[in-house]
Chain A
Amino acid sequence: QVQLVESGGGLVKPGGSLRLSCAASGFTFSDYYMSWIRQAPGKGLEWVSYISSSSLYTNYADSVKGRFTISRDNAKNSLYLQMNSLRAEDTAVYYCARDRSSGWEFDYWGQGTLVTVSS
């Protein structure tokens, strides 16, 4: 069965860095686009970034452009999000999600990992 398991969240000071990981299993990881989506406490969903199946294409929300970097290692079935220059407004649960058709349809989500940016 398809599984996505995020890790790497935690408490970090403003201006700090964090690297999130998402371990995928149960499907051919290299066939799918993947995205990171976040949800601030008590708020709605916000798309963060996507990466194409071969890493050829990436894209970012304006709110994280220049600070976050998405990457993947298809040999390790893993997705990553390097987050630099973190701000308080980056505090959220971060989900990785599989795009079923490269059409921005997220059919599987991980359980999420909480990132808290606070001094």
Chain B
Amino acid sequence: QSVLTQPPSASGTPGQRVTISCSGSSSNIGSNTVNWYQQLPGTAPKLLIYSNNQRPSGVPDRFSGSKSGTSASLAISGLQSEDEADYYCAAWDDRLRGVFGGGTKLTVL
């Protein structure tokens, strides 16, 4: 199992707001920043959020991130069909390793 815990699936209808949680511990999320990646089917992952809540240029402001204590979350507002993808949280762990969440498959109904 993954060091960071995410729900395996999430869903929403177009226009809705969806959140995906990511739970860790004091050695990873609790002491380091969290990044989020989007992986569309058959493609390489793409950086969606870095440093807990920063968006790289080109990422729509519909995507937002937050962190509190040893948990983080990704919110997607105004859900669109093209948002259907796998989403991964990630953080550095002070035990000298990088850790990812197990991924959340987002379905747009």
Beta-carbon contacts under 8 Å, B63-109 to A? 86, 88, 90-92, 96-103
Q: Within 8 Å CB of B12, what residues of A?
A: none
Q: Within 8 Å CB of B50, what residues of A?
A: 100-101, 103, 105, 107
Interface string of B32-59 (1 = CB under 8 A from A): 1101010100001111001100001000
Q: Within 8 Å CB of B88, what residues of A?
A: 44-45
Q: How big is the A interface, by class?
A: 20 to 34
Interface string of B13-37 (1 = CB under 8 A from A): 0000000000000000000110101
Assess whether A27 is interfacial by the CB under 8 Å rule.
no
Shortest Cβ distance from residue B42 to the other chain A in the assembled complex, whole angstroms: 10
A45 touches B44 (CB 8 A): no
Name the contact of B98 in the complex, choosing from A35, A100, A111 (C-beta under 8 A): A35
A109 touches B45 (CB 8 A): yes
CA distance A107 to B102 in the complex (A): 20
A104 touches B90 (CB 8 A): yes
Q: Within 8 Å CB of A103, what residues of B?
A: 33, 50-51, 92
Q: Within 8 Å CB of A46, what residues of B?
A: 100
In the complex, the chain A residue whose C-beta lies closest to that of B102 is: A44
